Amino acid sequence: MLAALRIADRIGASVLNVHPGIHGYFPERFWPRMKAAELAVFQELSAFGEPRGIRVVAENLIRTNVHFEDTWTLDGVVRLHDDWQAGLKGLCLDTGHAHQAGLDVAAAVRRLGPRLKHLHLHDNHGGPIDEHLPIGDGTIAWDGVFGALEDVGFDGLAVFEFGPPERQREAADRLRARFGA
Ligand SMILES: [Zn+2]
């Protein structure tokens, strides 16, 4: 991840997103140590990124039975965020991961609130497969999500995690119509 941060610095990127989470195939007694190691990693990354103007963000992941325990509920990423001492930090909400995990995506936006600094936008049919479909092709209630983003005053960057380019252009038009510039 430090190598990725060096690349981010070289290309002038302003955000580096990291997949956090503990691995459920280790016995539960090791989870507190994994959480401590996870926090130490994020401290180290932001110590490098912050002076270079790069915000490190942690993303919610899909619900599985082997890893990412506690990120899909948002509990783990919220705790990680709140324990993490940094100025340029934040959480990335991946809309498809939240929906796959059975969360209400608009409620997830509201729960993260001011912690929310980055967005991964894609759709699916609510699990178990993380389909990475264009916005509107799955069952996420997008109007509610857009309303929640306005309510929390989201002003970060959003990334489309679906293809092809024509569908991305269509989604950009839809978002422009909804939000203006
Ligand atoms: Zn993502």
- What was the pLDDT predicted at 31? 86
How far is ligand 1, taken at its centre, from the CA of residue 31, in Å? 23
How far is ligand 1, taken at its centre, from the CA of residue 56, in Å? 14
CA 78 to chain centre: 11
How far is ligand 1, taken at its centre, from the CA of residue 94, in Å? 5
How far is ligand 1, taken at its centre, from the CA of residue 33, in Å? 25
Q: Are 121 and 97 in contact (CB under 8 A)?
A: no
Query: Given a cut of 90, is residue 68 above it in pLDDT?
Result: no
- The arithmetic mean of pLDDT across residues 5-9, rounded, is 97
Give the residue from 80, 128, 76, 78 showing the smallest Cα distance to 100: 128
- When pLDDT is cut at 50, 70 and 90, the band that residue 127 belongs to is confident
Q: Classify domain 2-179 at the CATH topology level.
A: TIM Barrel (3.20.20)
Give the model confidence (pLDDT) of 87-104 as tens digits.
Answer: 999 999 999 999 999 999
- When pLDDT is cut at 50, 70 and 90, the band that residue 176 belongs to is very high
- What was the pLDDT predicted at 106? 98
- When pLDDT is cut at 50, 70 and 90, the band that residue 181 belongs to is low
Query: Given a cut of 80, is residue 69 above it in pLDDT?
Result: no
- What was the pLDDT predicted at 110? 98
How far is ligand 1, taken at its centre, from the CA of residue 134, in Å? 13
CA 46 to chain centre: 16
* Structure token pair of residue 97: 């991961």
Q: What is the pTM of this model?
A: 0.94
Give the residue from 42, 57, 124, 63 showing the smallest Cα distance to 92: 57
Domain boundaries, the chain: 2-179
Query: Given a cut of 80, is residue 125 above it in pLDDT?
Result: yes
Residue type, 39: L
Question: Alpha helix (H) ranges present in the chain?
Answer: 2-11, 31-49, 75-83, 95-100, 105-112, 142-151, 165-179
Q: Which residues sit with Cβ closer than 5 angstroms to ligand 1, an ion?
A: 94, 120
Give the model confidence (pLDDT) of 11-67 as tens digits.
Answer: 999 999 999 987 878 888 988 899 999 999 999 999 999 999 999 999 999 998 767
